[in-house]
Amino acid sequence: MPMQDKLEDMDRITSKAQLSELCEIIDKKEQTIHALLPEKNLKKRLLAEYTASKDAALPLHGMLVGVKDIIRVNGFPTKAGSKLPSSVFEGRQASLIDRLKKAGAMVLGKTVSTEFAYFEPGPTRNPVNPEYTPGGSSSGSAAAVAAGYCQVALGSQTIGSIIRPASFCGILGFKPSFGRIPLDGVIPFSAAADHVGIFSRDIQTLIQVCEILCDNWIADSLKEKKPVIGVPHEKYLQQADKIVLTAFESQIKKYIKTGFSIKPIHILNDIDHINARHKKMVAYEFARVHEHWYSDYGHLYSLHSKELIKQGLSVSDKDYKTAYKGRTAFRDEVLTAMDVNQIDMIASPSTVTPPTLGIKSTGSPIMNLPWTYAGLPTLTIPSGFTEAGLPLGTQLTGKYNKDEELLVFADEIIKTAEQG
């Protein structure tokens, strides 16, 4: 049944009393949600850190951030959602954590990840309705933000692990352009496709965190305007189920009604080949990342991870190189089509289905795959609910390294939707 005692959204922490109250609420809700890795003295640690934080002028002072358990943070073991000993993953703290702390943010805790950020689910449940999956692989991060534990959480995406769980949990999820956020200190899945991204409940907070985390971020001077939105009409859309497609078509009609220009864009006629190339590339790299770990701890791997390693070892060097080079060729194809058609962003469904019942599966990431393969910035925004009260999302994709522009346009879409 849906949770009745939904936690009210909290802004920045402004007092020890507020922080103490939040910790007590989290402790209660975690009995159901399981978004965080267990920590015996979470409240004591956070209160001590808040007391020690002196500079209230820092841009992220009082902000709590959940961190996916594939990102190294000093003082926290890293397990990558696996049964392997944390000593395997020891190393220097990720520089993106350095940036957040320097800006005044506090780490709420480690959030649950599927095993190695792949398909083996953890215990996390969807705060909107705990009978349903929160999505994955950044399950805990999405759930922590949706449940109101923290203002922001970090996740990663190699196929669809930010966009899908954000959509399933009814919040914002942003995957920046490939390479905009440094990956040092992040346990790799596929170096050619890994992205660190951000979950939030409001776009202004999301933009503020992007200014801290993304390399060479430029506060965009673009004047507010209604962007021209491209919509693909090929086999790509047919991958989504009827519920999602009907809701997406309704959303597009709303955009038109509120003054946005919509254009068809023909870029995904070969979606089956794009899907196959991306899957071969990431499987090949995953198998090599895990070569030494698997030789020592193979008995601790799930069947999902074992199968991916097997698939990766079967990919030839030639096929891998073709898939690797295909990223930039596909990206160029998309960008050329956007320029020719004078399109600012592409809209598509965030997921194949609404959140699915149970937590044995995190759902399909196939709707997110082409934009991850191309390394293009992508944001999912909440787009209503199914008749059963389950969240739906619309996925907005921008131009490469034009992340700032994408978020400005998305802000305009969100404001227009709120006013409408």
- Given the residues 79, 82, 101, 137, the one annotated as active site: 137
Whole-angstrom distance, CA of residue 390 vs CA of residue 172: 15
Whether 167 is catalytic: no
- Given the residues 68, 101, 280, 402, the one annotated as active site: 68
- Given the residues 141, 161, 190, 383, the one annotated as active site: 161
Structural contact between residues 413 and 255, judged by C-beta atoms closer than 8 angstroms: yes
Name the residue type at position 347: A
Maximum separation of any 2 CA atoms in the chain, in Å: 60
Other beta carbons within 10 Å of 152: 27
Helix axes 271-289, 303-314, angle to 10 degrees: 100
For 48, 132, 136, 148, 347, the CA distances from 255, given in Å and listed in that order, are 47, 29, 29, 29, 11
Which residues, in sequence order, are CB contacts of 202 under 8 Å at separation 6+?
A: 172
Q: What is the DSSP letter of 71?
A: B
Whether 161 is catalytic: yes
For 39, 118, 122, 124, 363, the CA distances from 82, given in Å and listed in that order, are 17, 10, 9, 14, 19
Burial of 360 (0-12, 13-18, 19+ CB in 10 A): exposed
Whether 190 is catalytic: no
How far does the chain reach from its first CA to its final CA, in angstroms?
30
Whole-angstrom distance, CA of residue 135 vs CA of residue 166: 8
Q: Which are the catalytic amino acids? A: 68, 137, 161
